[in-house]
Structure 1
Amino acid sequence: MLSVHYIQKGLLFPLPPRCLDPGFDRPAFIRSFLEKLKRSLSSALFHFYPLAGRLATLNGPTPRSTPSSLTAPTALGPGSSMPRSMTVADILSPTYVPDVVQSFFDHDRAINHDGHTLSLLSVQVTELADGVFIGLSMNHTIGDGTSFWLFFNSWSKIFQAQEKGAVDVVPLSRPPALTRWFPENHPGPLSLPYTDDPSSLLARFEAPELRERVFHFSADAIAGLKAEANRQCGTTSISSFQSLTALVWRCIARARRFPPSQVTGCRMAANNRARLDPPLSPEYFGNSITPVRTAAKVGELLGSGLGWAARLLHTAVAEHSSAKLREWNEDWIKRPQVYHLDKTFDQYSIMMGSSPRFDKYGNEFGLGKAVALRSGYANKFDGKVSAYPGHEGGGSIDLEICLPPTTMALLEADPEFMAAVTDS
């Protein structure tokens, strides 16, 4: 993960109506709000202490116990206040996510190797005319999406407990499991080939011109896709998310106008914690993900129906076993590599990242429920799709899709795709 970007996700909260009254002391409210965030963040880092350090490169045999530092503070700052004319509606109303959202995150375009000097976690709070945005940037070498949202959820619970009068250090019902996992025959730590010039291993990916749009799928629409995929296959085993992914894969392949003979792939980020034997703790704090891939020729994909594509995805997920994971680990240990976005994900495929299973809208900081989730510049490319729970819950899903302008316009004109979109 050294050459990919930090994870950047955040939540948009409206301010309480009293904050908009002319006689209300809003600056004092914001100062108090930031102090509460800092206090609760400090308590959260007591539990998630690796996030308070820095990365270090050691040349030579790796000692069993490596030094760590807690002297470098995790950043939390107010960022730049938006002009008073910038409102919550200005963020949510446009068809495409406005570029200004990228400024809501610290460590913009930083890659994880920069964690040698940059904080491994940064929290930026941006004040709008009628709302605030809390944006987190977390180094992806430290943890994956499961780890990211475990931290966010824990921080929120600590904030709420302290609002009720709890002490600074608040116990957690789901504390992170911080002991790193290694294969039994490789007790770790593991080493990369050393170089005096780390830039030879790294690459700073620059995304092409992309349009980013959040499409909403209601629980009923997703249930309809699942029912149709299973009906076409004569089964009941295909999941809701596999059915939705099959739709997205087919429709983006059609919008790209590839020839029928072109091979197109679909990757889905799989959480490996429960798949390993023995399984890892659900609270394992680290990276335990693998992109599960399946592929087909465009002609087959578009000519065979939703169920055919969903069955391919279902089979790939079903075969993603502990044995396969251990084989993959062994191969990586023999030939360690640093992932580069431009080489790992090709222009003919899509990548389904994040997860609608993460508790994203359960995070509250004294302002009620967030109205939207948005992400920064990080790790976006042609065909990147991020899945979030819908705001209303109940099994609804939001998909953040990144495509070049021409491809996005063709996707928006695709009858099969737009028939499933509830609103966006």
Structure 2
Amino acid sequence: MDSSTVRIISRCFVKPQHVSEQSKQPFYLTTWDLVMLSVHYIQKGLLYTKPPPGDYCEQNLINNVLVRFKQSLSIALLHFYPLAGRLATKIEQNPKSHSVFVDCKNSPGAKFIHAAVDLSVSDVVSPTYVPLVVQSFFDHDRAINYDDHTRPLLSIQVTELVDGVFIERWFPEGNNGPLLTLRFTHQNEFITRLETPHFLERIFHFSAKSITKLKERANTESNTTKISSFQSLSAFVWRFITRAHRLPCEIVTCCILAINNRPRLEPPLSPNYFGNSFQIVTTMTTAGELLDHGLGWAAWKLYQAVVNHSDKSVRGFVNDWLRSPFVYQCSPHLYPQSVIIGSSSRFNMYGNEFGLGKALTLRSGYEGKGSVDIEICLPSFSMNALESDEEFMAVVSKPI
């Protein structure tokens, strides 16, 4: 067997510690959940190193981690019971409607997988590009959200390496509200399965010092102090990826940011609100205009898109959706012209404790105080152009 082949050691399902009356009822999805049905999962994993040999019994260490993990998961599912469910659909023909919700009653629970691979931590983090085997560390690789009809809503895979452990860190979010309907009678009317071209994936590390310089430069060029570090870094990446694509000057390019609705609503939602409450904001210009102007110009446009996302625009989106429901579709035509930036450096990715100490990496990235890792996925010709761009690489730092 190839050393890079992931072996499944065991599979099981974990249910809530006990069944509450509330969990016997359907759990309805919000507009922000339903628009994402045709989108791929956001999946991340934490890579841990095992203690030095001789400091522990390896088998006991792994067994203890697995037992405690499943016990903790069972307790968590008591409070977050929708994660033990699966999607279900109610279809009406007259009028046409397609209602998707979480069935928390008729489900075996959350899936828990123990796997192993004959690779070291170095095999995962040392290559220039993220190894393809990392995709096998995720049970739901290439699945879209609608697939939760036949797959567990929550699936966790713990993969043992020779000298480390990779723990898939992903869970869906949702909020119980009224039953909302899509005006379709078959999934083919709103679900698209896009076969993406082969991309190279690489982690680029930006130190706190590099990001501070980008922020200072963006604000100076725009004669302001309002542009954030995230907006400065996003603008920087947008400009250089566009340059790497070598788009004609007249082609429209856009930078799409995922944005949190919680603090923008009036009154604001609690940061602990369990549910999707985010949208996307899009900044558009031509490739020529983006590259003819400096970093500050691009960063200011992103800043304006963010500050204009207010309570009024959030509620307007929801009202428009209720009048004419839709589901986001991924188009292959978007890739060359768009830069889509998700996740956030504000998320506490390294805060989980599984009895293995602090994680070394998030997927193949490195964490440092004030630093940011960006995983960029590009066709090979664009990735090669980006890596050969001396101005871009001068800002990229070596991980510590």
Give the TM-score category using the shorter length: 0.7 to 0.9
Q: CA deviation at 1:343?
A: 6.7
CA contact (8 A) 2:194 2:332 kept: no
Report the structure, 1 or 2, having the larger strand content. 2
Structure-to-structure mapping, 1:308-323, within 5 angstroms: 308-323=297-312
Distance between the aligned counterparts of 2:103 and 2:128, measured in 1?
48
Structure-to-structure mapping, 1:14-413, within 5 angstroms: 14-17=49-52, 20-21=53-54, 25-60=57-92, 68-69=104-105, 71-79=107-115, 81-83=116-118, 86-139=119-172, 142-143=173-174, 179-180=176-177, 188-195=178-185, 197-342=186-331, 345-374=334-363, 391-393=367-369, 395-413=370-388
Partner of 2:19: none
Deviations 1:170-216 (A, max 9, x none): xxxxxxxx554xxxxxxx32211241x32332111222110100111
What's the % identity of the aligned pairs?
52
Q: CA deviation at 1:26?
A: 2.2
Distance between the aligned counterparts of 1:332 and 1:320, measured in 2?
17
Distance between the aligned counterparts of 1:216 and 1:8, measured in 2?
19
> SS at the partner of 1:236?
coil
CA contact (8 A) 2:85 2:102 kept: no
Change (3 A) 1:67 1:128: closer
Please tell me the residue identity of whatever aligns with 2:325: P
Q: CA deviation at 1:126?
A: 0.3
List runs of 5+ in structure 1 lacking aligned partners.
Answer: 144-177, 181-187, 376-387
Distance between the aligned counterparts of 1:354 and 1:344, measured in 2?
23
Distance between the aligned counterparts of 1:417 and 1:278, measured in 2?
41
Distance between the aligned counterparts of 1:67 and 1:96, measured in 2?
39
> RMSD of aligned C-alpha atoms?
2.2
Distance between the aligned counterparts of 1:200 and 1:238, measured in 2?
41
> SS at the partner of 2:89?
coil
Q: CA deviation at 1:347?
A: 2.7
Distance between the aligned counterparts of 1:304 and 1:62, measured in 2?
46
Q: CA deviation at 1:24?
A: 5.6
Change (3 A) 1:41 1:67: closer
Q: CA deviation at 1:71?
A: 4.4
Q: CA deviation at 1:137?
A: 4.2
Runs of 4+ in 1 over 2 A off after TM superposition: 23-29, 59-63, 65-68, 136-139, 343-347
Deviations 1:277-316 (A, max 9, x none): 1211111222211111111111111111111111111111
Q: CA deviation at 1:48?
A: 1.1
Partner of 2:28: none
Distance between the aligned counterparts of 2:289 and 2:318, measured in 1?
32
Change (3 A) 1:66 1:38: closer
What is the TM-score when the length of structure 1 is the normalising length?
A: 0.80
Partner of 2:43: 8
What is the TM-score when the length of structure 2 is the normalising length?
A: 0.85
Please tell me the residue identity of whatever aligns with 2:181: S
Deviations 1:365-394 (A, max 9, x none): 11111111128xxxxxxxxxxxx8x5122x
Number of positions where the alignment pairs a residue of Structure 1 with one of Structure 2: 359
Distance between the aligned counterparts of 1:325 and 1:138, measured in 2?
24
Partner of 2:31: none
List runs of 5+ in structure 2 lacking aligned partners.
Answer: 1-35
Distance between the aligned counterparts of 1:228 and 1:249, measured in 2?
16
Change (3 A) 1:71 1:250: closer
CA contact (8 A) 1:208 1:404 kept: yes
Change (3 A) 1:410 1:343: closer
